[in-house]
Amino acid sequence: MPDENGLQRAYKQSRYQIAGHGRRTVQVLKDALADVSDESESDMYGKGKVIEAFEEKLARYLGKDTAVFFPSGTMAQQIALRIWCDETGVHRVAYHPLCHLEIHEEDGLKELHQIRPILLADANRLIELDDVVGMKDDVSCVLLELPQREIGGQLPEFATLEAISQYCRSHNIRLHLDGARLFEVLPYYNKTAAEVCRLFDSVYVSFYKGIGGVAGAILAGDSAFTSQARVWKRRHGGDLISLYPYILTANYYFDLRVSRMGHYYHKAKELSEMFNGCKRVSTLPHIPVSNMFHVHVDAPAEAVEQVLIRLCNETGVGFTGNLRATEEDKCSFEVSVGDAYDKIPPNTLAQAFTLLNSELAKGNESHA
Amino acid sequence: MPDENGLQRAYKQSRYQIAGHGRRTVQVLKDALADVSDESESDMYGKGKVIEAFEEKLARYLGKDTAVFFPSGTMAQQIALRIWCDETGVHRVAYHPLCHLEIHEEDGLKELHQIRPILLADANRLIELDDVVGMKDDVSCVLLELPQREIGGQLPEFATLEAISQYCRSHNIRLHLDGARLFEVLPYYNKTAAEVCRLFDSVYVSFYKGIGGVAGAILAGDSAFTSQARVWKRRHGGDLISLYPYILTANYYFDLRVSRMGHYYHKAKELSEMFNGCKRVSTLPHIPVSNMFHVHVDAPAEAVEQVLIRLCNETGVGFTGNLRATEEDKCSFEVSVGDAYDKIPPNTLAQAFTLLNSELAKGNESHA
């Protein structure tokens, strides 16, 4: 992560943001603690009311027998794959080339667990049934990420999920769900979490994306699976004496926001239309299927950065703090709609898009 | 960890406790946050003012170039040993038979890192220079725990540490400090943390023992070491988006209590005398060398449990919630003196010891 640049500074200081739930400050924690009794007891190494009650609540919500709270998804998912590999005796798993484990975890899966991944599909498209059927190596487990974050949060059709699940079950392959953004896709599928999760043997969900907590994750599955997960959690150094700061915030923001996912999804579609109405701008997916999408701009990152800083300064609207240069003088950024979007006055947002459109049009002429 | 038993319940409900800083409740977190601005920004994946400032502060305090904040000591220490093993190419380390890594971590070191430990000394005594010199296998690293918790918190003489350090340096063996209770031993050694730590290549300290925070650890060493530690922290799933709930509490209670360690040590010596004045009771060490010691009782755990419950009920003084049955109808428990001790009125404490003594004397007759 580079040091803070001009765009990050401008974004942080912007009055409004199109993405997220507001700034990640200590207030996020304090708000969640405000109604918690001072006398509430800490969890102790995975035991105690605060952790057990939340694990049971999420197990029920996800339709699984049991659940374990983890400090991070990185830890939870490596452990899930390790358990399935040990169970089947095959230390190979299959996942998308842009899977979190492949690109964001410093190869923990390989370095700590000696598990070799098979990359399914091309980086720029979703995994389909044919990719799973066509695997040349034996694998213990297939991991599916819903939505596929690094390609804008695309989703397979639910029927595809069902077909992959059925194939895996009939071929003794476990199916693991990277549900970092599972809550966010339920409105599109028009399914309950349990209806999605029953296609999978193990499920990870996160509490600081759409839910907006401080950190933390849940790993759910049957009790044979989660009892092994608890042992591995201890081995990884994740069985902290106290995880309650994360659990209390996860619980608070889960209750606050899990029912708002349909609203965020609706607003993401509205917002994507505004982007797609701008010159040289397109969103991926074109019509979002969750609260998230990527914005692709056909102009160099340096030029777009200046435009976005100007937008912050002149309209108070921050579009992103993280612009990613892509191939051939293009760039992109990610948008995940949350509570912050609703705080932008419609006129102000319209003004911001008018300015974005006219600035990018200028760029078009000077680059033509 | 078993479900709560009668003694645990009585201890939790006792008005006073001889050990610790008071109950581990949400108030511990709230007190630390009270003076923190709502606007303080979260750390983000190991970056940001809140984490960097604390890492720098502790690096200075420990006299090391750099430091990394970890969610747990389990994670920090496995990683330290892994780095030293990779550096020397020898995947063997040496430590005490009752080392935390050997008995409390579900063999994470072996299962995740394929590192084989050589056990130095007998379980019931400290590691001496001869044990290190006498190692038959090559090892990359020796780990010393100060104080040796599982044998009551005993400490080698400082000259022994110096000799072991010198031997390791001249034999290309790294020396790692398990300083879970390092702050607590500085008054006995009459040394600064930096004076102790310069004998070691890497150092781990904890913030929820003598310091009384919520959780969290620091791993310190030179910058080549800590930059590798950051990569492994990501691999282990410890590079959380936000660790600030632990950092803010660690910082608050460090400032509050690090200068009180001499007081706790003094009070531990006072308290151990009271225990040693009781029939069938002895402490290990006989004279404590830190704020901690173990109390050994020459009577069966079931009988002592009833006595300790009676003490809670009749005097309001809780001695322990965790009684450990040892060999031949004996039992023991651990005491770590903190802020709670000072809250017990001296008369009440004297009354509790009078009752303890008379009850254990009774037991003596009935068991004779």
Query: What is the helix (H) or strand (E) element at residue A76, kind and residue range?
Result: helix A73-88
The DSSP line for B253-292 is HHHHHGGGHHHHHHHHHHHHHHHHTSTTEEEESSS-SSSE
List of chain A residues whose C-beta atoms are within 8 Å of the C-beta of residue B106: 231-232, 234-235
pLDDT tens digits, B66-117: 999 999 999 999 999 999 999 999 999 999 999 999 999 999 999 999 999 9
pLDDT tens digits, A310-347: 999 999 999 999 999 998 899 999 999 999 999 999 99
Distance, in Å, from the CA atom of B65 to the CA atom of B58, rounded to the nearest integer, reads 10
Domain A6-22+260-367 has CATH 3.10.110.10: no
Distance, in Å, from the CA atom of B211 to the CA atom of B102, rounded to the nearest integer, reads 24
List of chain B residues whose C-beta atoms are within 8 Å of the C-beta of residue A28: 42
Residue B110 forms contact with A (CB below 8 Å): no
Residue A28 forms contact with B (CB below 8 Å): yes
Residue A86 forms contact with B (CB below 8 Å): no
Closest CB from A26, A36, A107 relative to B244: A26
pLDDT tens digits, B312-359: 999 999 999 999 999 889 999 999 999 999 999 999 999 999 999 999
Task: Quickly state the pLDDT bin for A2 (edges 50, 70, 90).
Answer: very low
Half-sphere exposure for A208 (CA within 13 Å, toward CB): 25
Task: Assign residue B22 a region (left: φ > 0; alpha: ψ between -120 and 50; beta: otherwise).
Answer: left
pLDDT tens digits, A267-320: 999 999 999 999 999 999 999 999 999 999 999 999 999 999 999 999 999 999
Counted residue by residue, chain B has a size of 368
Task: Quickly state the pLDDT bin for B3 (edges 50, 70, 90).
Answer: low
How close is the nearest chain A Cα to the Cα of B221, in Å? 20
Kindly determine whether residue A238 and residue B238, on different chains, have CB atoms separated by under 8 Å.
yes
- pLDDT at position A230 is 98
Query: What is the helix (H) or strand (E) element at residue A363, kind and residue range?
Result: helix A346-367
pLDDT tens digits, B255-268: 999 999 999 999 99
- pLDDT at position A80 is 98
CATH class of segment(s) B6-23+260-367: alpha beta
Distance, in Å, from the CA atom of A281 to the CA atom of B292, rounded to the nearest integer, reads 65
Q: How far apart are the first and last CA of chain A?
A: 33
pLDDT tens digits, B153-194: 999 999 999 999 999 999 999 999 999 999 999 999 999 999
Strand stretches in chain A, DSSP E: 16-17, 66-70, 92-95, 116-119, 141-145, 174-179, 202-206, 217-221, 281-284, 292-297, 317-318, 324-326, 330-336
Chain A, chain B: beta-carbon pairs less than 8 Å apart? 165
Q: Which residues contact A200 (CB under 8 A, 6 or more apart)?
A: A144, A165, A175, A176, A177
- The interface pTM score, or ipTM, of the predicted complex is 0.96
- pLDDT at position B327 is 82
Distance, in Å, from the CA atom of B284 to the CA atom of B332, rounded to the nearest integer, reads 10
Question: For chain A, what are the domain ranges?
Answer: 6-22+260-367, 43-241
Distance, in Å, from the CA atom of A361 to the CA atom of B16, rounded to the nearest integer, reads 73
List of chain A residues whose C-beta atoms are within 8 Å of the C-beta of residue B43: none
| Amino acid (1-letter code) at residue A80 | A
Kindly determine whether residue B71 and residue A238, on different chains, have CB atoms separated by under 8 Å.
yes
Question: Bridge partners of B179?
Answer: B205
pLDDT tens digits, B27-39: 999 999 999 999 9
Coarse DSSP helix, strand, coil percentages of chain A, rounded to the nearest 5 percent? 50, 20, 35
Residue B103 forms contact with A (CB below 8 Å): no
H helices of B119-243, in order, are 129-133, 158-170, 182-189, 193-197, 223-236
What mean pLDDT comes out for the span A60-65? 98
Closest CA to A335 of A289, A272, A282: A272
Closest CA to A245 of B214, B51, B212, B32: B214
Q: Which residue, among B242, B251, B253, would best test binding to A if mutated, counting the most A CBs under 10 Å from its CB?
A: B242
Q: What is the mean pLDDT of chain A?
A: 96
Asked if residue B156 has a cis previous peptide bond (ω within 30° of 0), the answer is no
What mean pLDDT comes out for the span B126-155? 96
- pLDDT at position A5 is 86
**Tokens 């006989």 sit on residue:** B286
- pLDDT at position B362 is 85
- pLDDT at position A1 is 39
pLDDT tens digits, A83-142: 999 999 999 999 999 999 999 999 999 999 999 999 999 999 999 999 999 998 899 999
CATH architecture group of domain B43-241: 3-Layer(aba) Sandwich (3.40)
Task: Quickly state the pLDDT bin for B1 (edges 50, 70, 90).
Answer: very low
Kindly determine whether residue B214 and residue A112, on different chains, have CB atoms separated by under 8 Å.
no
Q: Which residue does chain B place closest to A216, by CA atoms? A: B240
Tokens, residue B213: 């925070």
Residue A211 forms contact with B (CB below 8 Å): no
Residue B346 forms contact with A (CB below 8 Å): no
Inter-CA distances, B262 with A46, B11, B289, Å: 33, 26, 10
**Tokens 């904040």 sit on residue:** B69
